[in-house]
């Protein structure tokens, strides 16, 4: 649709930002819902991020998404931080309030859990322990979501144990850091396996893990979506495990921000999924 002088503005701030699928994603919803608005990529160097953040309300932006490498910096610079974002330690969604101040939120935990529940509708938090691979920013959101959902035990494995221990201390709950070398044994009795590392992503080393101890009923989720079907998901599917790919997390995490900026709650559909992946 044609933009007017009253168009609502939002965007995604990153460095680089050219790879982001968020403009395509939000553009689909804006067109579908007939909203007078625009969502634009904002390539901002780390040294310019504070100035860019300060400029958002002055330029009339309703808010923005924040992607690498700015998520932790955003947490320190916003005027208000929602409790979940503070707990996770990162902000991925900025909302400009009516008074011009900026609130930092984290919608990655919501996006992860919605994707998991819709991709594996039979999964229940009480089904058994969850095994989470990785202890980076994405893992923090995933672990927080699983703790809040009521998973009885979360076995957290990272190539650096100290980082896993720090994550467990920060998030709280039944999180048990384990050495990376025991990752195969950690699958015994699990109800869920989640890969949050870059291992298996295009251009990255493969994820080396033996799934033999994983129960056939356990759900396997890889948050990587390039490629969409990772070696982990292919191996799990061959064993008969239910699998959930990573693109849904991207789609669902975008819903709360879009609603806050543009005043309408969008829907995640197969049509949207195909469009974003194209």
Annotation says 6 is catalytic: no
Give all strands of the β-sheet with 243-244 in edge-to-edge order. 175-179, 154-158, 130-133, 192-195, 219-222, 243-244
- Asked whether the beta carbons of 198 and 216 are under 8 A apart, the reply is no
Among residues 31, 45, 58, 71, the one annotated as catalytic is 71
Sign of CA pseudo-dihedral 175, 179, 184, 185: negative
Is the separation of the CB atoms in 13 and 67 below 8 Å?
A: yes
Pairing of strands 219-222, 192-195: parallel
Peptide bond into 192 cis (omega under 30): no
Alpha helices in the chain (DSSP H): 22-33, 49-58, 71-77, 83-88, 108-119, 137-149, 161-171, 231-239, 247-262, 270-277
Entry field: residues in the chain: 278
Active site amino acids? 71
């Amino acid at each position: 649709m044609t933009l007017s002088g009253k168009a609502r503005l939002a965007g995604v701030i990153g460095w680089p930002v050219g790879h982001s699928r968020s403009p395509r994603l939000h553009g689909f919803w804006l067109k579908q819902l007939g909203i007078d608005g625009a969502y634009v990529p904002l390539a901002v160097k780390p040294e310019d991020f504070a100035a860019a953040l300060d400029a958002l309300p002055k330029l009339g932006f309703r808010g923005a998404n924040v992607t690498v490498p700015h998520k932790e910096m955003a947490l320190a610079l916003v005027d208000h931080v929602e409790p979940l974002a503070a707990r996770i330690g990162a902000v991925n969604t900025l909302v400009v309030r009516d008074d011009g101040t900026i609130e930092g939120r984290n919608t990655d935990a919501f996006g992860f859990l919605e994707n998991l529940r819709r991709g594996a509708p039979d999964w229940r938090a009480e089904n058994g322990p969850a095994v989470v691979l990785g202890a980076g920013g994405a893992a923090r959101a995933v672990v927080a979501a699983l703790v809040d959902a009521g998973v009885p035990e979360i076995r957290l494995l990272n190539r650096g144990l100290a980082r896993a221990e720090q994550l467990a201390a920060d998030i709280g709950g039944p999180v048990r850091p384990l050495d990376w070398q025991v990752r195969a044994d950690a699958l015994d009795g699990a109800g869920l396996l989640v890969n949050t590392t870059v291992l298996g992503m295009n251009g990255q080393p493969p994820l080396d893990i033996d799934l033999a101890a994983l129960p056939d009923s356990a759900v396997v989720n890889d948050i990587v979506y390039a490629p969409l079907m990772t070696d982990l998901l292919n191996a799990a599917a061959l064993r008969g495990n239910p699998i959930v790919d990573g693109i849904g997390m991207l789609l669902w995490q975008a819903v709360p921000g879009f609603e806050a900026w543009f005043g309408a709650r969008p829907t995640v559909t197969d049509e949207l999924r195909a469009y974003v992946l194209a």
